[in-house]
Structure 1
Amino acid sequence: MSPNPPDTTLTRHLRITGRVQGVGYRWHMTDEARRLGLTGWVRNRRDGSVEAVVSGPAGAVHALIEWARRGPSLARVDEVVVGDAEGAFEGFEPRETV
C-alpha cells in the first residue's frame, strides 16, 4: 500500500538540478502538469536549477515527480529534491527566473 491514497491532495516543492535550463524544461513540465490536472508553478533559478511547486491528487503529483526525474529529451537531470509545500493555485504556470 502506498503512503498516500491516490486521491489524497498533496502539495510538493521540487528543486531539479542538472542540464535543465535552455532545454525547454519549464515548458515541458507545464504541459505535463496540465495534462495530469495539477496546479502550481515552475521557474528557472539563477543558480541553474529549476524550481516547482505542484499540487493535486497524490497519484498525479507522484507521476509528475517521476517525469521530473527524466525531464524532456534534451535535459540531463542529476537530482530532484522533493519537500513538502503549501499553497492554493489556479492552473499551472511557468514563472519568471529568480
Structure 2
Amino acid sequence: MTTCCVRAYVTGKVQGVWFRRSTQEQALQIGLTGYAKNLADGRVEVLLCGSSTAVSLLTEWLWQGPKGAQVTHVTIEVLQGHRAPDHFATY
C-alpha cells in the first residue's frame, strides 16, 4: 500500500467544538495517522497519512466536522516524501 500525506488547514468555528478529538476518532476508525492541532489564528491544522482512499474520505469529512462546527474553508496541501507518524495525536 502506498502511503500519502496531506496537511489541511480548517477555517471557521472549529475550536471549542471538539473538532480535534472528532477528527482523531474519524482518523483512527479508517486507519490514518497524523495529528490535529489548534492554531493561534483560530484554525485547526490536520496532518493525515495513510491510504489515498482513507485520506480522501477524511478530507471530505473535514468540510463537515463534528456537530457544533461551522467550517467555512479547508485548504489541502499534498506532502511529497513526508514520513508518516505511527499514531494520531491531538495538540
* TM-score class normalised by the smaller sequence: over 0.9
**Quick check: 1:22 aligned with 2:16?**
yes
- What secondary structure, in the 3-state scheme, does the structure 1 residue paired with 2:50 have? strand
> Residue 79 of structure 1 corresponds to which residue in structure 2?
73
Unaligned runs of 5+ in 2: none
Looking at structure 1, the residues matched to 36 and 50 of structure 2 have their Cα atoms a distance apart, in angstroms, of 15
Query: Alignment identity in percent?
Result: 36
**Quick check: 1:89 aligned with 2:64?**
no
Q: Which of 1 and 2 has greater Rg?
A: 1
Q: TM-score, normalised by structure 1?
A: 0.87
**Selected match of 1:69 from 42, 63, 66:** 63
Looking at structure 2, the residues matched to 18 and 88 of structure 1 have their Cα atoms a distance apart, in angstroms, of 27
Looking at structure 1, the residues matched to 18 and 75 of structure 2 have their Cα atoms a distance apart, in angstroms, of 20
Q: TM-score, normalised by structure 2?
A: 0.93
Looking at structure 2, the residues matched to 88 and 49 of structure 1 have their Cα atoms a distance apart, in angstroms, of 22
